[in-house]
Structure 1
Amino acid sequence: MEPGDGWRTARSSRPAEPETRVTFVTQWFDPEPTTTPGWVARSLRRQDLQLEVLTGIPNYPTGKVHKGYSPVRRSTEIMDGIRVRRTPLYPSHDHSALGRIANFSSFAASSSILGSSLLRSADVVCVYSTPATTAAAGMLARLRWGVPYVLMVMDLWPDSVFATGFLSGGLTRRLAEPALNWFTDQTYRWADHVTATSPGMREALVARGVPADKVSVIYNWANEKIMQPAEPDPSLRARLGLTDEFVLMYAGNHGAAQDLSTAVLAMGELRDLPDVHLVFVGDGIEKPGLRTLARDLGLTSVHFLDPVEPERMPAVMAAGDLQLVSLADRDLFRVTLPSKVQSILACAQPVLTCAPGDAARVVHEAGAGFSSPPADPQLLARAIRRAAALPREQLRQMGLAGREYYLSHLSEDINAGALADLLRRAADRRRRGRRMPRAR
């Protein structure tokens, strides 16, 4: 579908209204490597919105507080001209369900209470909703001061909680699921407008009872100042002892949701192709297990590199031949379009998706690469084998096709403009006296 179709909020042609004050609420923000909230905030500033950020103490992805911050003290700093208010939280990002619950709920409470001055002074609140508990601040703003909020749904709760292995069974799930369903339904109900990151997610929200005219597809866009075609990093292959070998690369979080063990097992099916290598770049709670799996299989063709700064990522990706997008085989991920897809396409890199639903659909529509069903190492190995047999020039043409698709469908200009319009419209309704009624 093209921007402007019925499921999409089209950009308005009216002039920008710089007096619109927006409080952008997100649990994660720079310097944490969850880069999407940062570039969403910066993009909205470029849309002539007066924006401030309300976020937590940085502790992702290790669960350890970043140097220079305290988990128990709030702070304020200026980042790229944006005022960032940080409120305390319980730092955690491991396999402990109790730790995660404490992490999410502590930020929900501190942002609502200690961030109240930012919430009260805003014309509209923009909630980056992952985890869903982040919406507590927006709900409080509406309840206490009638400030509307636009809810950016990044993943579906409680589906995503159970899909990643937390609260996944027994009495705990039977108790948690009704409560989480009720809470997320309230976050949709109280919102002035709801955005989804893909058509499949929008359909899922409408199926949950959100009015169709209240949900718009706003694709995540890449940080276009960084994510552009680049020359390959000349040191990467040399560091791994590689020259002209075929390199499949995965760059990003190594978590349970990514199911990267499928890629390692697929490499075990390709022992007859010693010139085909898999390179992991990044970190996450599953990385030690992936190392162990590769070692147990005796795979010298699988390599692990530390995370790199976002500014270096385009050159690092360009040193590979094909970029991997992997998601576990869950119904939830059929309506998930990971932001990794946009970044890869913006950098004109070809893609191999080992994922269901919208991620594979976008790559196919763009003509940007290959796909394989999730959680099937044999079929993934077959797709890698097919890609490795192609001339490099054909792979480069796939990457260029992907970039063209990005510019025409997924870019900042299209999607940040649509999001900014939604925020202005919510603020306008409040200014004209059509104030959101206080929710009961």
Structure 2
Amino acid sequence: MTRSEADDAPSILFINQHYWPDFASTAQHLTDLAEYLASEGFDVHVLCSRGHYLSGSMDVPAEEVHNGVHIYRVRATAFGRDTVLGRLTDYASFYTSTLARVLTGPSYDYIVTLTTPPLLPLVGTVAQALRGQAYGIWSMDLHPDAEVAAGMLKEKGFPARLLHALNNAGYRGADFVVDLGTHMKRRLHEKGVANDRLHTIPVWNRKDEIYPVAHEDNPLRSDLGLEGKFVVMYSGNAGRAHRFEEVLAVMRRLDGHPEIEFVFVGEGPQKERIETFAETHDLSNFRYLPYFPREDLRYSLPMADVHLMTLREEMAGIAVPGKLYGIMAAGRPALMVGPEASESGETIREYDAGYVVDPSRDSGPEQALYDRVLRIYSDDEERRRLGENGREAFLESFERDVCCREWEGLLEDRVEIKPEPVVA
């Protein structure tokens, strides 16, 4: 259904490889935003694949309406993230099917592309050139900047230069670009995106979904045998953007501690490295758990006493870990190993919601991390204070409705129409 068929409701098509019911971070945030906009009177459509974030296809229909959002799932391979070849094949098949749909399907007031897979904004560029379709970008991360920073591509090599040129063209042609913070904004401006087209809106969590839960009221603590344990958790993707040198060293130093337990949750390219390290050193207070379903996050995130975050220095402004807002929502302190000069580092320090160990500034980052873990472990009042600071800041600035209202205002300004909210 296009705008004319929806009583002049602004029509928006979001494009991303993942969407509900998948649990990829971009899928969850896009689902939140799409459903919020639909409830506010927008005519919302989503173009995605049937592929699961990890591997395989989901048993979902090609088209359906869910919570007011029209979902279209194109045909694409679903080899998953296990191999580079499989991932590239998934990307290529999704590009092909998506571009065909965009060029032959209905037009919209705006197409908004995310950045999974990389270079997805080029779909908007082509649609603009061939159909005059207006488009914007929700920049969740930067490519091929991430691949260059991770050492997968050489900065001066031809593939990187070509991908930079294509990516930059996509960004410069967009009517607007939503970035995730000041450091990403700076990088996008350096790519040639005008400042008046850049809009900072952070990602979020939901106050009704993630909130502080006392350990004695948390069923996961007992189910996993964590009663009486001080849980140091790393939850989420263990990707190439993250560093674990200091974390692994501290895990080894604290091995055998009667109360401190390191719990990793999720998947990622570095999972095998972390598990191998734990096995090689026969660590007794370590476990690696699979992702929890979204409905269980209300228990899995508060299950921790402190949450670990890591980011490589060269990734500042390229990747912005959204997990920080879940940590803050759960009322738990964040302990980050990474650059202070990054979106996450500055948020933690600005709101006094944890500690940042910056390896580029701390002469002994391993010792600094070790000291911070023991400080939070031994000081109940400090742990409570940091967690409460984080929760308060989350409600003020990083809650779903707060951020989605900013998106609503941006899109209203672009289409110059005030939609009528849907009456439940």
What range describes the TM-score normalised by the shorter chain of this pair?
Answer: 0.7 to 0.9
Q: Is the 8 A contact 1:156 1:332 kept in 2?
A: no
Query: Does residue 418 in structure 1 map to residue 410 in structure 2?
Result: no
1:12 is matched with: none
Pairs aligned (count): 401
C-alpha distance after superposition, 1:381-427 (max 9, x if no partner):
23212221211x43122112112112222233332222222223333
1:270 is matched with: 254
Q: Is the 8 A contact 2:241 2:315 kept in 1?
A: no
2:142 is matched with: 156
2:348 is matched with: 363
Pick from 24, 31, 53 the counterpart of residue 21 of structure 2. Answer: 31
Q: Is the 8 A contact 2:206 2:399 kept in 1?
A: no
C-alpha displacement at 1:88, in angstroms?
A: 1.9
C-alpha displacement at 1:18, in angstroms?
A: 6.9
Query: Does residue 112 in structure 1 map to residue 99 in structure 2?
Result: yes
Q: Take 2:258 and 2:245, find their aligned partners in 1: how far apart are those partners? A: 19
Q: Take 2:20 and 2:359, find their aligned partners in 1: how far apart are those partners? A: 31
Q: Is the 8 A contact 2:122 2:166 kept in 1?
A: no
Q: Which of 270-279 and 23-32 deviates more?
A: 270-279
Q: Percent identical across equivalent pairs?
A: 25
Q: Which of 312-321 and 185-194 deviates more?
A: 312-321
Query: Does residue 58 in structure 1 map to residue 48 in structure 2?
Result: no
Q: Take 2:351 and 2:318, find their aligned partners in 1: how far apart are those partners? A: 18
C-alpha displacement at 1:349, in angstroms?
A: 1.9
CA change 1:425–1:117 in 2 (3 A) is farther
1:367 counterpart letter in structure 2: D
Q: Take 1:239 and 1:87, find their aligned partners in 2: how far apart are those partners? A: 39
Normalised to the residue count of structure 1, the TM-score between the two structures is 0.84
Pick from 260, 278, 282 the counterpart of residue 266 of structure 2. Answer: 282
2:203 is matched with: 220
1:99 is matched with: 86
What secondary structure is seen at the aligned counterpart in 1 of 2:369?
Answer: helix
What secondary structure is seen at the aligned counterpart in 2 of 1:195?
Answer: strand
C-alpha distance after superposition, 1:223-252 (max 9, x if no partner):
343123334464433344432221111121
Query: Does residue 406 in structure 1 map to residue 394 in structure 2?
Result: yes
Q: Take 2:260 and 2:317, find their aligned partners in 1: how far apart are those partners? A: 29
Pick from 335, 339, 343 the counterpart of residue 326 of structure 2. Answer: 343
Q: Take 1:98 and 1:312, find their aligned partners in 2: how far apart are those partners? A: 33
Structure 2: gaps (5+ residues): 1-6, 418-424
C-alpha displacement at 1:377, in angstroms?
A: 3.8
Normalised to the residue count of structure 2, the TM-score between the two structures is 0.87
Q: Is the 8 A contact 2:122 2:167 kept in 1?
A: no
Q: Take 1:96 and 1:322, find their aligned partners in 2: how far apart are those partners? A: 32
2:99 counterpart letter in structure 1: S
CA change 1:48–1:117 in 2 (3 A) is farther
CA change 1:336–1:256 in 2 (3 A) is closer
Q: Is the 8 A contact 1:54 1:85 kept in 2?
A: yes
Counterparts of 1:385-400 in structure 2, within 5 Å, are 385-391=374-380, 393-400=381-388
Q: Take 1:235 and 1:274, find their aligned partners in 2: how far apart are those partners? A: 22
The CA RMSD measured in Å over matched residues stands at: 2.5
C-alpha displacement at 1:198, in angstroms?
A: 0.7
* Structure with larger RCO (C-alpha < 8 A, sep 6+): 1
1:128 is matched with: 114
Counterparts of 1:141-220 in structure 2, within 5 Å, are 141-166=127-152, 168-169=153-154, 174-220=157-203
Q: Take 1:56 and 1:300, find their aligned partners in 2: how far apart are those partners? A: 41
CA change 1:65–1:194 in 2 (3 A) is same
Q: Take 2:321 and 2:141, find their aligned partners in 1: how far apart are those partners? A: 10
Query: Does residue 84 in structure 1 map to residue 67 in structure 2?
Result: no
Structure 1: gaps (5+ residues): 1-16, 430-440
Q: Take 1:95 and 1:20, find their aligned partners in 2: how far apart are those partners? A: 39
Q: Is the 8 A contact 1:218 1:418 kept in 2?
A: yes
1:25 counterpart letter in structure 2: I
2:355 counterpart letter in structure 1: F
